Structure 1
Amino acid sequence: MHASFSAGTLLGAGLSSLAILFKVPVLVHLLLIARIEFILIFTFFRFLPEDTGKEDAVSRRQEVSSEKPVNVWTEPRTLLIGLIVLGMAFAEGSANDWLPLTMTDGFHVTHAQGTAVYGVFLTAMLIARIFGGAFLDRYGRVPVLRLCTAVSVIGLSLVIFSGNLTAAVIGVFLWGIGASLGFPVGLSAAGDDPKGAVKRVGAISFVGYCAFLVGPPVLGLLGEEFGLVRALMIVLIGIVLSGLVSRAVKPPASEKCS
């Protein structure tokens, strides 16, 4: 599912580059995309199974009657998973909102080229999310997540400190590879224990989307003061923190999954 999300954003970036190249007015572009989305949604939503997103009523009643309410915000493991997702979602959301402008301002490329570099990031995300499941099954969450954070740190460091366009593009690709699995792995880890899984996954999703919504404006404010390239250092710090607490995504001892 996350790979499909990345594929959609990659397609959107490609269409945006073409729109810029052919000087399509923004209003025309957005109205056309909105119409396509409307058609797609109302064509395919009816094929979703009727019980999608619903809980079994009997098991839910049993859980409510036999278990104490779960307060996920007091669970150390859930909070640490939230910290992981916060850092990695910030890394992804910052690229989604600021990477094209960072390339145009920091490396003096054209707007179409800046959007194309964003496409490099999305391509890396798509590749990693397609093949990441096999690596998670083979090596486990913690080693893979640590590798992802290391790769993302290397990539982002190239963008921030290299001052070279070619090195920065390579860095963007590594940044995308590294940032790809943090959110999906965090959601999976939050759902390990069936009891209270809905609340935990909801809490982790809330944290992740807060990072998507709040992080980029903060980065923009820092960018006005220090420049967007240097402002990315706060993203780098978030990724490092995610790596330091990556052990939190290890399944509980009672679970026989990796």
Structure 2
Amino acid sequence: MTTPSHAAQPTRARRELTAWRNAIFAIFFLSGLSLASWVARLPAIRDDLHLSTQGVGLIILTGSIGSILGLIAAPWLMARIGARHGMSAVLVTVAVGLVFVGVGGSVISSVPLVAAGLVLFGFGNGAVDVMMNVEGAEAERELGKTVMPLMHAFFSFGTVAGAGLAAAASAIALPVWAHLSVISLVLAIAVVVAVRFVPVREELGDDPHDDAPRDPWTVRIKRSLSVWADARLLLIGVVMLGMSFAEGSANDWLALAVVDGHGYDETTGAAMFTVFTIAITGARVLGGRFIDRFGRVAMLRSMSIIGVAGLALFIFASEPWLLIVGTVLWGIGCSLAFPVGMSAAADVPDRADAAARVSAVAMIGYCAFLVGPPLIGFLGEHFGILNAMLVLLGLMALAGLAAPAARERSR
């Protein structure tokens, strides 16, 4: 049995640690809830704005641009105001963005207002993605057991809840603006309550005393950027890049690949995507105990092999049952790399350095989520969607080769 290196002696009471962990669970959930709420109402917004498919793509692009800006700005925000206040600020920004999207999409029919809302929405979600992973890695370290996969599962739970509430809102003909306004209010209130249980920590930029001496924020941001020179950290980024690319591409292209690549109907495509989401969520719920037992490297290598085998079945198999097996293995294979990469990046004695490292690999992983799907779409247009997915095979194999960089460090 492998003892996890993050099993440090807790410095806080168990009750405080549990409250901290649950607060981060809640923030992951809220991020997923916000994302699914907007995406699920996209057809209604498209109809109200009379957008073409290309027009929908362009307004989605504004959200992606906002997300990239949020990822870039997150280290600066943490240096200025800390992760604790930063999470509140950026999730409130997400809430404001959702209100703009709802009003622009269903009240005044303004494409510019929807685009502005999506920039705010993307910025807030991009920034909170980094911050909540930084906090999650710290909470995991003090708890002494692997919980990052479960935290990412809570994001999935949030997307399920958001999609379900959106479906209910659509079924009762609740206007988009009213639905998104309610979700925005829930986001703003819930995050303010949740961060009260996140401890104040100066190493993440939180300032418990206004007159407490600390390094200028410019020094802290330079220290945050210096971690990019660490070769081990970049190899951890390679692990996350490959698997995040595979996961993000599945989210956007799996159902379409079932329809266009394998010739099944749209219902089968949607069902296959559901199988994928169940597989990846289930693996994240159960994965922590296996990581603690067998270690990060063994699990990442196993996940790489499983993912490559599953994707190969998905691409080349023709029988429906093999397609289902391939989809399940694909989901399991790319389920743990992102949360394990976060834990590995934080596995250093200097906690301020750990926060900067987690921020860096989070940026690598989330950029893969954003860049991957458009690249697969471009390749699919020229070579076919299933042939385009061969790129994912290579990236998942590369992630497995880079797995030793995530090895636990003894303290």
Instruction: Check whether TM > 0.5.
Output: yes
Tell me the CA shift for residue 54 of structure 1.
5.0
**Rounded Cα–Cα distance in structure 2 between residues aligned with 1:181 and 1:174:** 12
1:238 paired residue number: 395
Aligned equivalent of 2:285: 130
**Following TM superposition, by how much is the alpha carbon of 1:10 offset from its aligned partner in structure 2, in angstroms?**
4.2
- What's the counterpart of residue 175 of structure 1? 330
Structure 1 pair 78–121 and aligned structure 2 pair: CA distance change class (3 A): same
Structure 1 residue aligned with 2:375: 218
Shift, 1:112, TM fit: 3.0
Go from structure 1 to structure 2 and tell me whether the alpha carbon gap of 1:150 and 1:38 turns closer, same or farther (over 3 Å shift): same
Runs of at least 5 residues in structure 2 that lack an aligned partner in the other structure: 1-150
Q: CA deviation at 1:168?
A: 1.3
1:80-133 deviation line (CA, Å, top 9, x unaligned): 001000001101101111111111111222323312211111101111101100
The reply on whether 1:61 has 2:207 as its aligned counterpart is: no
Decide whether aligned partners of structure 1 residues 180 and 73 sit closer, same or farther in structure 2, where only a CA change above 3 A counts: same
Q: Percent identity?
A: 42
Between Structure 1 and Structure 2, how many residues are aligned? 246
Gaps of 5+ in 1: none
Q: Which has the higher contact order (CA 8 A, sep 6+)?
A: 1
Answer yes or no: is the 8 Å Cα contact 1:117–1:169 preserved in 2: yes
- One of 33, 46, 62 as aligned partner of 2:192: 46
Structure 1 residues 31 and 61 mapped into 2: Cα distance closer, same or farther (>3 Å)?
same
For 1:206, the equivalent position in structure 2 comes to: 363
1:225/1:165 CA distance change after superposition, 3 Å: farther
Q: Provide the alpha-carbon RMSD of the alignment.
A: 3.0
Inter-partner Cα distance in structure 2 for 1:152 and 1:32: 41
Letter in 2 for 1:45: V
Tell me the amino acid that sits aligned with residue 219 of structure 1.
I
Separation (CA, whole Å) in 1 of partners of 2:271 and 2:165: 10
Is it true that 1:104 corresponds to 2:250 in the alignment? no
Distance in 2, matches of 1:128 and 1:36, equals 32
Higher Rg of the two aligned structures? 2
Cα 1:155–1:113 change in 2 (3 A) is same
Aligned: 1:161 with 2:307? no
